[in-house]
Amino acid sequence: MNELHHQRPLTNQADEPALMVEKKQCVAYITLNRENSLNAINNEIRDTFPKVLAQLDRARDVRAIVITGSGSRAFCVGADIKELRATGSITDLRKSFRHNGWIEALDDFSKPTIAAINGYCLGGGLELALACDIRIASSNSIFGLPEVNLGLIPAAGGTQRLPRLIGLGRALDLLITGEKIQAQVAYNLGLISRLIEEGSSLAAESERLANSIADKPAAAVAYVKEAARESANLDLKAGLRLEKDLLAILFNTKDRLEAADAFISKRPARFHAE
């Protein structure tokens, strides 16, 4: 996604920060900026990512985010192995891992998130993509959770989010074998929702999609995301009740009234970003 590389750090960091953020109109683009390491996740990314999300969630002029990787070879190949050599007691390691839930920041992020995947999407990189609301990928993308081959398991959500997304049987196949799959297979499994064919621009399509979402009533987008995500945690009756409660809140908003008036008047709606 070279089209998105002309970016700046969100805060004053080194000349080449591991995480870059750019805002275009009402969309923020977060780029994992370690192209020479295939955008492997280091401690800087783990520390910075939740802070960036918190800032973007508070920003009223940001209505959607796109997460991608620098260069054309990889979205992200997972953790930087050079930073995983340390060992310790099980108690100390458990505390460390539990406090290192940087990807979980996406679970509390209220705005729609899009993973724009180019090239390798492996390990923690796939777990990052799984935590996003929408996954869009180029046809050359390759997916996998190879942690078992390293004597580990995916522990940034892979064992939990993947079965919820594609079903237990298919998820166990990928988790136990650690095999990599091509983009078309990932699309067929439902791992990604949009596949960009060769010759088309992943950057252009992800930007078009994000702008389309950003143009919609913000509260409605946030609430439909909340209701759908909560479906994994609620029984059907509680989920249906949540739907109706959120609908009641939306019914008297300016954007809902504007949408109805625009429809009746046969004119484009002008939403207020409530």
Q: Which residue shows structure tokens 């060992």?
A: 87
Rounded average pLDDT over 199-223? 95
- Catalytic site includes residue 197: no
Please tell me the total count of domains within the chain. 2
65-93: buried (b, 16+ CB within 10 Å) or exposed (e) per residue?
bbbbbbbeebbbbbbbeeeeeeeeeeeee
The mean of the pLDDT values for the chain is 90
pLDDT at 34: 96
Using CA atoms, how far apart are residues 59 and 21, in angstroms rounded to an integer? 13
Is residue 28 predicted with pLDDT exceeding 80?
Answer: yes
Which of 214, 233, 251 terminates a domain? The answer is 214
Question: Where residue 259 sits, what CATH number does that domain have?
Answer: 1.10.12
How confident is the model at residue 95, as a pLDDT? Answer: 59
The mean pLDDT value for 106-135 works out to: 98
Segment 185-209 mean pLDDT: 95
Residue 186 and residue 112 in one domain:
yes
229 shares a domain with 193:
no
Residues 208 and 223 in one domain: no
Considering the domain architecture, whether residues 162 and 53 belong to the same structural domain is answered as: yes
**Catalytic residue from among 35, 127, 198, 274:** 127
Task: Tell whether 77 and 149 lie within a shared domain.
Answer: yes
pLDDT digits (tens, 9 = 90+) for 245-259: 999 999 998 888 888
Q: Which residue reads 């390990």 in tokens?
A: 123
151 and 166 within one domain = yes
Between residues 83 and 56, the one the model is more confident about: 56
| Residue 125 shares a structural domain with residue 176 | yes
The per-residue pLDDT for 85 is: 61
- Does residue 243 carry a catalytic annotation? no
Q: Is the dihedral of CA 252, 25, 54, 129 positive or negative?
A: positive
Structural domain boundaries enclosing 199: 2-214
pLDDT of residue 12: 35
Same domain, 182 and 225: no
Pair (188, 98) in one structural domain: yes
The string of pLDDT tens digits covering residues 29-55 is 999 999 999 999 999 999 999 999 999
Q: Say which of 44, 147, 205, 230 is annotated catalytic.
A: 147
Residue 114 has pLDDT above 90, yes or no: yes
| Predicted local distance difference test score (pLDDT) of residue 96 | 59
- Residue 266: the pLDDT is 81
